[in-house]
Amino acid sequence: MLAQELISDVIPALKTSDTGINALNWMEVFRVSHLPIVNNEKFLGIVGDSDIYDLNMTEEAIGSHNLSLLNAFVYENQHVYDVIHIVLEHRLSIVPVLDQDDNYLGIISLFELVKAFSVLASLEQPGGIIVLEMKQIHYSLAEISQIVEANNARILSSYVSVSDTSTKIFVTLKINTKELSSILRTFERYDYTIRYSFEADEINESLARERYEAFLNYLSV
């Protein structure tokens, strides 16, 4: 999934002639704390609400001040993981997208980013979740996949998180079946440590989906 596929067609960019109060109003409307500044399709940087408040320039044009513009963006052909990295590294609420000639194409909002992550993690697909704990040197996705597939199931998505306090990692698996007992027993026979497991039933799955959709609706308001 590439950045160009996630561009929002709703949130506008600012011009250097826009006032600080205009920027703050747009930020409030779209529930963001940053907006890009663009003149003639050229991306100039990002302005945050803190820049406007700190400089006390709500009535003046943004371009009349030397703001600490954050030059953070992604190119249209970069992967969604690069977008997530930029958001986390700079604590942004939006990410500008440029083409290969550095022309501004649009922005990616957190709403679009959450939707993209839900697709990558198969959050909307029915099934159970298993979290394995192991040392990094013992991690083999091929072996894990073989164990799951030997039980007539398959992995819909997987991701690895690293412990900050040890050499252990946690492998989270989304499995395409709600009944995990046979898979769990096989993992135990292979001496895997099962940290958590969640066998989704229809009620819990419906509740989780409702909460996820409510979260997306909140981001889009």
Q: Evaluate whether 46 touches 59 at the Cβ level (below 8 Å).
A: no
Lowest mean pLDDT among 138-142, 172-176, 211-215: 211-215
Give residue 203's pLDDT band: very low, low, confident or very high (50, 70, 90). very low
Rounded CA separation 5/19 (Å): 31
Lowest mean pLDDT among 6-20, 55-69, 111-125, 146-160: 111-125
Q: Evaluate whether 72 touches 34 at the Cβ level (below 8 Å).
A: no
| 193 has pLDDT over 90 | yes
Lowest mean pLDDT among 13-17, 80-84, 148-152, 202-206: 202-206
Global pTM value = 0.67
What confidence score (pLDDT) does residue 123 get?
A: 63
Fold observed for domain 3-118 = CBS-domain (3.10.580)
Q: Evaluate whether 161 touches 218 at the Cβ level (below 8 Å).
A: no
**pLDDT > 90: percent of the chain:** 43
Give residue 130's pLDDT band: very low, low, confident or very high (50, 70, 90). very high
Give residue 76's pLDDT band: very low, low, confident or very high (50, 70, 90). very high
Which residue's entry shows tokens 């909140």? 218
Q: What is the number of other CB atoms lying within 10 angstroms of the CB of residue 175?
A: 26
What confidence score (pLDDT) does residue 218 get?
A: 47
Q: Please, what is the Cα angle at 178 between 176 and 182, to 5 degrees?
A: 95
Residues of the chain with CATH 3.10.580.10: 3-118
Give residue 161's pLDDT band: very low, low, confident or very high (50, 70, 90). confident
Rounded CA separation 116/124 (Å): 11
Q: Could you report the per-residue pLDDT of 20-54, keeping only the tens digit for each? A: 899 999 999 999 999 999 988 899 889 988 888 88
Q: 121-211 belongs to which homologous superfamily? A: ACT domain (3.30.70.260)
Residues of the chain with CATH 3.30.70.260: 121-211
Q: What is the mean pLDDT of the chain?
A: 84
Rounded CA separation 7/109 (Å): 8
DSSP for 169-207, please give it: EEEEEEES-S--HHHHHHHHHTT-EEEEEE---HHHHHH
3-state secondary structure of 117: helix
What confidence score (pLDDT) does residue 166 get?
A: 76
